[in-house]
Every structure is written in structure tokens, then in C-alpha cells.
């Protein structure tokens, strides 16, 4: 077997460590010219997405995505039961930790990139980095609690959870986790140091990490830095049309104030006259001195402001497409709540149509093979779809049983630290709709 990648790609580490622990022979091929090798017909025959790392099997087939490659290699050798879990419970706990590690990477890597002065991180603003830092430390503290009193993350032997955590934590310990913070996570520090001394880890990672004593000095493009604006969201004390906006603001760690109208008829008239509410509707978002209404327009505005609208034109188009598809499903839901009022016959028909729509999203997730719904990172499409899905799951508890990828995405998004905090807090309105249904 060959694992194809570019030189120095740390996302290969977990697979190399697994192969060494598991007695599986894998050759690392690094003579890749990105933009050429990965676009060739030979390469896309084994990985239609043109990504690295990719594992080429003797049969000519390929396995891609770093976690999938590591799982494949874990299944191939003598330590399969240890690495993947000795029973269903251990296997599920390993998967749980792997899902949390996705959050560790998505928050930690931009922070590390900023510390390393990576060109792609140069424009990330101060407020975003502060949020990435806070979330990284919160997740790392969770791992510390998980390791308190336990030799390994799962079971009584090393597993894929330990390996993936080590590989994702390595750049954090090497770059940004200073001595003061490390004192708060003694079990995680001890576990990391234990792992780096294991021969198979040392062969891949190269030995002990020199921990930084102090936090790195981060450089910001101050001329591009905006003073954090005051953000407010005005809407009725229900979830309704504003909930996807709340989900996005919380997912990105954006601070905002929520306001409810005290005398809506009067405020509506005043808003129409002043132009603050040009269509006499809410939600209303204020971003500093700028005000905007219409929920979908608000989401797109925030997507651009918060850098969650995709990284390329193609990704932005995919985000837009998925938001429109979510709105189609939202309209069916609104009709069910306000027009049919959950009448049983209409409800059965609605569930059928909903499942038909969701099957299309399941197919997209299968093709994309990404952790988020539109691409490899959070976008407004995730916030929109989570709101739509959450509403429909409340109506039909078994809705996602036949849609494993969509169900996994829904559970994964629900478990993101910021989202988990929000949906369990008093900040989230208890009422879903204006007529108490749903």
C-alpha cells in the first residue's frame, strides 16, 4: 500500500503511527506536485476529490480523508480490537472522541497558523483568534477531564482516539499552549508526553516536543482590523425566522444582544417611517451603525462578515445552493405549522416530502465527504440546515433513522461546544413558533 501526500503533511502522522503499531506495511509517497499529480486521471481514479493524503490499495482502489485512512489501517492488522475498540461501547466512545477532535482541529489550527505567521492566517482578525483560542482551551480541558484517572482515553490499551488526539494536539503543544495553561491540564500533558515516548510515535513525530514557556506574540493586520461592532438582533421571543441567525452567531462565538419588541404595532409603524424596518418585518440585525432585515439577507451578510461563506467562489455557490434548498424545506414546515396546524393527514404527507428533500442532502454529504454540510469548514449553510433539521426532528423523532450521514452531521453539529452551550441555555427561546405548535 502507498499513502500519497506532499512532504511534511502532519495529517499523515496518524496513519503512519497506526501502521507501525498494527504491523501494516505502508510506503509514504511524497513526490506530489499539487495541482498536477492530484488532478491526473490516475489519481482521481482512486480519489475523485483530488485530495491528499490518499491511500492507494494494491487492488487499485483508494481510501481518502485522514481519519478514514487511519481507520482502514487499524482494521488491517493484529491490534484491530485495541485500536478500534473491543466492543460496541468502546468503538462508539472512540468515535465520540474523534468527533470532538474535529472541533479541536478546526479551532486550534487557525490559532497555530496565526502563531506561525502562515500567509493564509494573516487576515484572520483578533476577535476570531480570541474565540479559536478559547474554544481550543475548552476542548483541551475536556480531554484533561477524560484522562483523569485513566491510562488511555478509551479502554485499557492505546486506541485510535489516543493517536488522533496526539497528532491534533502536537502543533498546539509545540506552539501555543504556554506553561500557565498547561498547569490547568496536567493529565493531558502527562498523556501527551507518554505517547511521544512510544517508539512508533517517536519514529513519526521525531521525539519530544519543546513546550513554549510563554504564549506566542500574534501579529495582526491592524490596518484591516475592525473594532468589534455592537451587534444586536431584534425579534419576537420565539425561535421562528431568527433562529438560524442565532445559531450562526453562537457557532462563531459572536457576541450579540437580543431585543424583543415591547409594543410591536407601534414599533412597526415607527420602523416603516424611519426606514429601519423597510418592509415592516423582523428579524432586524444591527451591526454597528448598519441595519438589515430579511433573515436570509442577514445570514449572507454575516457569512461575509464572519468569513463563513466558503473560501472560494465555488464553495460560496455551494453554500448559496444549500441555503436555498433549506428554505424550500422551511416553507413546507411553516405551512404545516400555520396552515395545516399539524393535522394528521397533512403531517404524514409533510413527512414524506421532507424525507424526499433530505435524501438529496444525504447524497450530497456522501459525495462531499466533509465534516460540515457545504465544505470542510463551518458556513451559514450549517446554521440554516441545523435550524430546519431541529424543527423537523421535533415533529418526527425517527426522521433521520434512514439517513446515517445526515444524522451524524446533525449530532456532530449539536455537539460543537458553542452550539451545545447555546441550545442548553436560557438564551434560546423556549417557544418555537408563534402559535405554540412545533
pLDDT in tens, 386-426: 999 999 999 999 999 999 999 999 999 999 999 999 999 99
> Which CATH number is 82-205's, of 3.30.70.360, 1.20.1050.10, 3.90.1150.10, 3.40.800.10?
1.20.1050.10
Residue with cell 421571543: 237
User: Would you identify the CATH topology of the domain 2-78?
Assistant: Glutaredoxin (3.40.30)
Write down the pLDDT at residue 226: 54
Write down the pLDDT at residue 223: 47
Write down the pLDDT at residue 342: 86
pLDDT in tens, 138-158: 999 999 999 999 999 999 999
pLDDT in tens, 313-344: 999 999 999 999 999 999 999 998 998 888 89
Q: Do domains 82-205 and 231-305 have the same CATH topology?
A: no
* Cβ neighbour number for residue 189 with a 10 Å cutoff: 20
pLDDT in tens, 290-308: 999 999 999 999 999 999 9
pLDDT in tens, 2-13: 898 888 888 899
**Cell reading at 338:** 400555520
User: Would you identify the CATH topology of the domain 313-423?
Assistant: Glutathione S-transferase Yfyf (Class Pi); Chain A, domain 2 (1.20.1050)
For residues 247-255, give the mean pLDDT.
Answer: 94
Domains of the chain by residue range: 2-78, 82-205, 231-305, 313-423
Give the confidence band of 260 by pLDDT, cuts at 50, 70, 90.
very high
What letters, b where the CB count within 10 A reaches 16 and e where it falls short, cover 361-397? bbebbeebeebbbbbbbbbbbbbbbbbbbbbbeebee
Q: Which of 392, 278, 410, 422 is nearest to 332 (CA)?
A: 392
Domain 231-305 is in which class? alpha beta
Is residue 436 over pLDDT 90?
A: no
Q: Which of 345, 401, 396, 408 is nearest to 372 (CA)?
A: 408
Task: Report yes or no: 287 and 304 within 8 Å, Cβ to Cβ.
Answer: no
Amino acid at each position: 500500500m502507498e499513502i500519497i501526500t506532499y512532504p511534511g503533511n502532519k495529517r499523515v502522522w496518524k496513519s503512519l503511527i497506526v501502521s507501525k503499531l498494527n504491523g501494516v506495511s505502508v510506503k509514504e509517497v511524497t513526490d506530489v506536485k499539487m495541482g498536477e499529480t492530484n488532478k491526473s486521471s490516475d489519481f482521481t481514479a482512486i480519489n475523485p476529490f483530488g485530495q491528499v493524503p490518499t491511500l492507494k490499495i494494491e487492488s487499485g482502489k483508494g481510501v481518502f480523508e485522514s481519519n478514514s485512512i487511519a481507520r482502514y489501517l487499524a482494521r488491517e492488522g493484529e491490534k484491530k480490537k485495541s485500536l478500534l475498540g473491543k466492543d460496541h461501547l468502546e468503538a462508539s466512545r472512540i468515535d465520540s472522541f474523534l468527533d470532538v477532535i474535529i472541533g479541536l482541529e478546526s479551532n486550534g489550527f487557525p490559532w497555530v497558523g496565526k502563531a506561525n505567521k502562515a500567509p493564509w492566517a494573516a487576515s484572520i482578525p483578533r476577535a476570531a483568534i480570541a474565540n479559536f483560542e478559547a474554544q481550543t482551551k475548552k476542548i483541551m480541558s475536556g480531554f484533561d477531564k477524560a484522562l483523569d484517572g485513566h491510562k488511555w482515553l478509551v479502554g485499557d490499551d492505546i486506541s485510535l482516539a489516543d493517536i488522533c488526539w496526539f497528532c491534533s494536539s502536537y502543533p498546539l503543544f509545540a506552539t501555543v499552549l504556554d506553561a500557565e495553561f498547561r498547569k490547568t491540564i496536567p493529565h493531558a500533558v502527562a498523556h501527551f508526553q507518554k505517547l511521544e515516548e512510544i517508539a512508533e510515535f517517536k519514529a513519526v513525530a521525531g521525539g519530544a516536543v519543546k513546550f513554549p514557556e510563554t504564549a506566542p506574540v500574534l501579529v495582526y493586520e491592524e490596518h484591516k482590523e475592525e473594532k468589534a461592532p455592537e451587534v444586536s438582533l431584534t425579534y419576537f421571543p420565539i425561535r421562528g425566522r431568527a433562529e438560524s441567525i442565532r445559531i450562526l452567531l453562537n457557532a462563531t462565538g459572536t457576541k450579540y444582544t437580543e431585543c424583543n419588541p415591547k409594543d410591536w404595532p407601534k414599533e412597526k409603524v415607527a420602523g416603516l417611517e424611519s426606514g429601519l424596518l423597510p418592509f415592516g418585518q423582523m428579524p432586524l440585525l444591527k451591526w454597528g451603525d448598519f441595519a438589515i432585515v430579511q433573515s436570509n439577507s442577514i445570514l449572507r451578510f454575516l457569512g461575509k462578515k464572519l468569513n463563513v461563506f466558503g473560501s472560494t467562489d465555488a464553495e460560496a455557490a455551494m453554500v448559496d445552493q444549500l441555503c436555498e434548498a433549506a428554505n424550500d424545506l422551511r416553507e413546507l414546515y411553516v405551512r404545516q405549522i400555520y396552515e395545516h396546524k399539524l393535522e394528521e393527514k397533512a403531517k404524514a404527507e409533510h413527512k414524506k416530502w421532507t424525507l424526499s428533500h433530505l435524501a438529496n442532502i444525504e447524497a450530497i454529504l456522501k459525495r462531499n465527504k466533509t465534516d460540515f454540510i457545504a465544505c470542510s469548514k463551518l458556513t451559514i449553510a450549517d446554521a440554516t440546515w441545523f435550524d430546519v433539521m431541529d424543527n423537523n426532528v421535533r415533529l418526527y423523532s425517527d426522521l433521520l433513522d434512514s439517513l446515517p450521514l445526515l444524522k451524524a452531521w446533525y449530532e456532530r453539529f449539536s455537539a460543537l461546544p458553542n452550539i451545545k452551550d447555546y441550545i442548553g441555555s436560557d438564551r434560546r427561546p423556549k417557544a418555537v413558533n408563534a402559535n405554540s405548535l412545533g
